[in-house]
């Protein structure tokens, strides 16, 4: 990892709140590297020879959360592969529970500085519709998996957002507006943080 302390912004919010959409705009406009924990897990699931493929798929379908050792390693490898000269990393969809947070802090706290948590909020009905309409063939974009993802979000991920709120690190943005309107506010949050 070298001696460099990498800049990190966590991006959290319910399933379908627009995390991936906003991260790709931030990456294009502000030069951060977008790392989606979900995308990394889906890629690992497809990788020939992966010993975790089946376990990952079971968690994704059930909307439950993969053990942090796996996810954190994928994130760390992706950060290493991006080199040392990047402005910072957007970590999309992680940490999602206390296990994720503990594992991240064990492994990464001396290698990164987490600047803030970008929290995209949106009503559950809006999120459900967006996931159902996405049409990218994700194995968790069906009514049953979506309901489970939402329960997991409410029970396990929302408390992580609350944890960061107590540290005054959460920047909440209403994710229900058009993606350009949401992005205008997202960009303001980054500018306010000095990026």
Which segments are annotated as binding site for CMP?
Answer: 100
Nearer to ligand UP5, 21 or 121 (CB): 21
Residue 18 near which of ligand UP5, Mg ion, none (CB within 5-8 Å, type-dependent): ligand UP5
Residue 27 binds Mg ion (CB under 5 A):
no
Q: How far apart are CA 63 and CA 74, in angstroms?
A: 19
- Does residue 178 belong to the site contacting ligand UP5 (CB under 6 A)? yes
CB of 43 to Mg ion, least distance (A): 13
C-beta closer to ligand UP5: residue 7 or 140: 140
10 token code pair? 């966590």
Cβ-based nearer residue to Mg ion, 7 or 36? 36
Considering only residues 58 through 117, tell me which ones interact with ligand UP5, judged by CB under 6 A: 59-60, 63-66, 71, 93-94, 96, 100
Q: How many C-beta atoms surround the C-beta of residue 186 within 10 A?
A: 24
User: Residue from 101, 108, 131, 161 that binds ligand UP5 (CB under 6 A)?
Assistant: 131
From residue 56, how far is each of 33, 113, 126 by CA, in Å? Answer: 24, 28, 26
**Contact positions toward ligand UP5, by CB under 6 A?**
13, 15-21, 36-38, 41, 59-60, 63-66, 71, 93-94, 96, 100, 130-131, 134, 140, 149, 178-179, 182
**Contact positions toward Mg ion, by CB under 5 A?**
19-20
């Amino acid at each position: 990892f070298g001696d460099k302390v990498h800049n990190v912004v966590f991006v959290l919010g319910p399933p379908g709140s627009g995390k991936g959409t906003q991260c790709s705009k931030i990456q294009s406009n502000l030069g951060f590297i977008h790392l989606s924990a979900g995308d990394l897990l889906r890629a690992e699931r497809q990788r020939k020879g992966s010993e975790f493929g089946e376990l990952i798929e079971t968690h994704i379908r059930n909307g439950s959360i993969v053990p942090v050792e796996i996810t954190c390693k994928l994130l760390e490898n992706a950060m290493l592969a991006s080199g040392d000269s990047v402005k910072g990393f957007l970590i999309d969809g992680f940490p999602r529970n206390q296990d994720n947070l503990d594992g991240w802090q064990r492994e990464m706290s001396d290698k990164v500085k987490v600047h803030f948590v970008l929290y995209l909020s949106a009503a559950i009905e809006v999120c459900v519709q967006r996931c159902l309409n996405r049409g990218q063939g994700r194995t968790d974009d069906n009514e049953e998996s979506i309901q489970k993802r939402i329960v997991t979000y409410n029970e396990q991920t929302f408390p992580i957002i609350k944890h960061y709120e107590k540290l005054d690190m959460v920047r909440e943005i209403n994710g229900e507006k058009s993606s350009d309107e949401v992005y205008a506010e997202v960009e303001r949050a980054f500018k306010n943080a000095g990026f």
